[in-house]
Structure 1
């Protein structure tokens, strides 16, 4: 027969075991709720003319995209999927890949320079529309690395220009790079075409005029990034110039982001 001390001891042990079991159950319930919130509550997204369906973890995408944060509230009320009719399924798929894994492995297979540029232009337009600044800034970094080496034909960038608002970082990047790696005479002939928006034509003409002024000042058709006048006009390698910032995305540290020094070659009739 157990004595008083043994009885009290057994009761205390049972109490501790019961509390431990309750705490473990509470913890499991909390983890299950969190897992359900993040990984099982999905949002249906219909993309493109083909109406391709995607199912995205709502908790993850709304933390990055104000567009989807607002869309989720409407979805909870109406129960209808989010529609991105102007975008391509491949572009949205690449965005999700970056959202979940931090990189786009499918882009590694795109070796053609112009195809890669077009792909990134579409991706930037999407991330900008969704308000995902982290993805937009990362995408424009990749675009800058490409465009500071060479730029596509003006026709290739017109859809991107027409799909972004005035003052867009992408527009700034295009105006910085298009005049530098194009034959100025050919470029001016192209901007006179009817399909080139007036604001793009004016911006290119002004930038071309500024470059011509530097050329006349230094007496050379080759503009070096080391030239103070040129580096002031176009801070080559400073990716932060093309980033978007808010309270959660402060300005980058330092004036330069490790961009390589470039030399822009201009053709004087040859």
Structure 2
């Protein structure tokens, strides 16, 4: 009951975070487009398009979180939990595309450096730093434990960094006239964000392929299960992600006695949850003198 309350609180908290983030960023995109046309700045209009893609990324992450909370059905027996993994993977790909676009623009600016288009661009970029930083802070606490939230956090952090780069480069150019500072700062930002994005891509790809989630010690789980009283062997152990926050386990345990503690299975499931954060465990018990299990193979799926 307490876990369900915590899960509902988690959903409610990030529903508010996504709602605030989407509202702030739509407002900023509107402002950016308006000032872009007023100042006849293609840079602002292009950046508004980029920021709108981040609004879409926030909506994808938000929608996946809402889908993941839906109840299971006869057709989808695990519900839509995997939608959060797909959203994280999509966000990683979108981030790479955005970084590729920034990198391409940076390359052209290195070949032919251009001045930042006046104080209006710098002022609007400064507003972007504030809005994107506030949005990123909404997700900072959950990004360590939820890949979907981490994707949203990375998108907002990348935007804040890019906007900050525009402000710094613009200020330096205004005072020194050194045009190369703009593409150099952009290049540094792209490299830094790219490192985090590749990590997000790798982790989300692993979850999409049902790899053992990061932070789960499969060796420790094996040692724990084989060390249980009355358990002499085990086979067909699988650990995989149900979502970006929930982990499932299935295993066959061979017992050497008919007598087990009355609450053996519920206690084992509780211990797997408390020790290893296994949210959903399915355990099959087999007697030592039973016929060999068809799934008792070195590599079995």
Structure of greater relative contact order (alpha carbons < 8 Å, 6+ residues apart): 2
| Higher Rg | 1
* Class of the TM-score when normalised by the shorter of the 2 chains: under 0.3
TM-score by structure 1 length? 0.27
TM-score by structure 2 length? 0.25
